[in-house]
Structure 1
C-alpha cells in the first residue's frame, strides 16, 4: 500500500519534471558538422524549452588549425521577433573554411547551458 503523503506528492513530482529540464538543442541551421557549398544567411538554434533571450547569445568564429579559440569570436545580434525557444541571427558573408557557432542560453529554470555547432563552408557546388 502506498503511503497517503507519497500518493498525494506523486502528481506534483510528475508535473515538476519538464519545468526543471535544461535547455537542450533540438536542431540548428547550419546543422552540426554540416559541409555547405555556401553559407546560410541566417543562423538558427532551436531548443526543447523556453530560454531568456535577453541573457542568451550566439557567437561566430573561424576555426583555424584545429583550434577553436575565442580571440576571433564575433557576437551576433539576435533577430527581433524570434520565438523564445530559439536563437536566430543574421550571418555575415562567410569565406570558405571551418566555422564554429557557439551558443549560450539561460533557461527559464535558471540554468545556463552552452555548446558549439561546428560547420564548414566549402565554396564548391555539389556534383549534380
Structure 2
C-alpha cells in the first residue's frame, strides 16, 4: 500500500534507450541487439543475443567505452519489416515460427546449428522481406 502521496510515473512500453557497446556503429533503422552484459550493438550472427528493437537514431560509439552513449530503440507489439536472407530464406512454411538474426537488416529461417539468435516470430512475408514480431 502506498503510504504517502507520490508522483505516478508512466511511459509507453515500446521506446527504450540502451547503453551501446564500445567500438560499435549502429545505423538508424537497423536491428539492435543486447549482448550478455546488456550492451546494445548492431544485429549480427552470434548465439545468446537478445533483440532490443529497431535503432531510432544512428549511434556512433566507435571511439567510446561500453555505455559511453545510448541508442534509442523501438519495439513492442507492432511488426517490424526486416530483409530476408537469400541463402536461407524465411518461406511461407516458416510463418508463425521463430526466425533468426543474420545481421542488422536480415533474418533467416535457420539458427544455423545454434550459431544465430532468435529475432522473433516471422508473421508475414513479402518479396522483399519478413514482418517480424519481437518476443
TM range (shorter): under 0.3
Q: Judging by fraction of residues, say which structure has more helix.
A: 1
The TM-score, its normalising length taken from structure 2, stands at: 0.25
The TM-score, its normalising length taken from structure 1, stands at: 0.26
Q: Judging by fraction of residues, say which structure has more strand.
A: 2
Instruction: Work out which structure has the larger RCO, using CA pairs closer than 8 Å and 6 or more positions apart in sequence.
Output: 1
